[in-house]
Amino acid sequence: MLRIQTRLPDSYSGAPIDELHDRIAVAKATLGDSLFILGHHYQRDEVMRWADARGDSFKLSQLAGARPQARYVVFCGVHFMAESADILTGEDQIVILPDLNAGCSMADMAELAEVEDCWDALSEVVDISRVVPITYMNSSAGVKAFVGRNGGAVCTSSNARAIISWALERGDKIVFLPDEHLGRNTAFQLGYGVGDMKVWNPRMDLGGLQERDCKEATFLLWKGFCSIHQRFTTDHVAKFRREHPEGAVVVHPECTLEVVQAADSVGSTEHIISFVEQADPGAVIGVGTEIHLVNRLNEETPDKTVLTLDPLVCPCSTMFRIDAAHLAWILEGLLKGNVRNQITVDATTAAEARLALDKMLQIA
């Protein structure tokens, strides 16, 4: 999805970091309770230090909705997160994304038009009334709305098992968007095998499948992935175990099935944080997730050693876009009455997306 971020004035892009922090502090204090800054776990430390709340995307959106006195909700995350916040906050609240180029490559792998084409193609070969669409939280508002109006639900990495179990009670087949790894890992947890799953490639006719595949598969997994979590390999796990025989490995379910099966524990970002916090003093823990969170966990749990499984792993390039300069630019704009980078979801899309989100909450 194309998004164009205005180039920051030199007074921001060229300002020393200490000066930016001073300016952010003044603006934040002046705005007071009218401002609520959300910081996703994968953000830079220079941004996270200003967050009024930190967490995963859905948790933060819920917190913003529960803070009606905050007129300005500044979401330090990525585009789909800000959309969810706009859906879940009040009409008087304004959701802002400090850098419009902070998108999510996984979410962008499932464009609404492609999802609609998939549904139409499937309708010609299977009983579409028995197909349930499920979308991961990491998807656009448009895709969430599609799922809502077609009787499906949103899921998170922590409740995917419950949501998929619900879907299988009301249908014969699931289209899982947009992360094939979370879908596959969850299906395996539920006892399904490779033969029950097919990958739908949106850039090929009928997803690159035969009609028989579409009819027989229980899971049609969208060909999408997280560029960070897909980097982790079983070689990384093996290397960690050689170097730390008593260590433990915890990974995110957006990793490949092979990595998940090689780990000691698998779960959402919140699960990873809890795993580290509850580990015994002196523990050495290898983590398969975004590097900013790994480093922060190591700093905040000094009685343990927290290491990334891949020492060469890069930060999430889209999460990394938001920095102190962009945050200062947003906040000082608000002081002048200028709302920059507001994220809005139209009423129809928001209502349909909320159907899918509410269904998730009812189930999980």
pLDDT attached to residue 133 = 98
pLDDT digits (tens, 9 = 90+) for 61-101: 999 999 999 999 999 999 999 999 999 999 999 999 999 99
Could you check whether 107-227 and 229-308 share the same CATH topology? yes
Burial 208-227 (b: 16+ CB within 10 A, else e): ebeeebbeebbbbbbbbbbe
- Residue appearing with tokens 């921001």: 12
Strand 94-96 vs strand 131-136: parallel, antiparallel, or unpaired? Answer: unpaired
**Do 288 and 236 touch, CB atoms closer than 8 A?**
yes
Q: Which amino acid is at 156?
A: T
Residue 278: partners with Cβ closer than 8 Å, 6 or more residues away: none
Q: What is the pLDDT of residue 313?
A: 72
Give the pLDDT confidence of 30-53 residue by residue, as tens digits. 999 999 999 998 899 999 999 999
pLDDT (average), residues 170-174: 96
Give the CA radius of gyration of the chain: 21
DSSP string covering 82-124: HHHHHHHS-TT-EEE-S-TT---HHHHTS-HHHHHHHHHHHHT
**How distant, in Å, are the alpha carbons of 101, 237, 277, 295 from that of 301?**
32, 22, 7, 10
**Amino acid identity, position 25:** A
* pLDDT at residue 42 in the model: 86
Q: Is the pLDDT of residue 315 over 80?
A: no
Confidence of residue 103 (pLDDT cuts 50, 70, 90): confident
**Per CATH, which fold does 107-227 belong to?**
Rossmann fold (3.40.50)
Integer Cα distance of 247 and 280 in angstroms: 11
CATH code given to domain 229-308: 3.40.50.10800
User: Per-residue DSSP letters for 160-221?
Assistant: HHHHHHHHHHH-SEEEEES-HHHHHHHHHHTT--GGGEEEE-TTSGGGG--HHHHHH-SEEE
User: What single-letter amino acid sits at 257?
Assistant: L
Average pLDDT over residues 117-144: 98
Domain ranges of the chain: 10-103+318-345, 107-227, 229-308
Q: Does 209 have pLDDT greater than 90?
A: yes
**8 A C-beta contact, residue 276 and residue 250:** yes
42 with 290: CB under 8 angstroms? Answer: yes
Q: What top-level class would CATH report for the domain 10-103+318-345? A: alpha beta
**Structure-token pair, residue 122:** 């499937």
pLDDT above 60 for 168: yes
Cβ neighbours around 105 below 10 Å, total: 16
In this predicted structure, the answer to whether residue 205 has a pLDDT above a threshold of 90 is yes
Any residues with CB less than 8 A from the CB of 337 and at least 6 apart, and which?
A: none
As a whole number, mean pLDDT of residues 316-324 equals 81
Spatial separation of the C-alpha atoms in residues 142 and 352, rounded to whole Å? 9
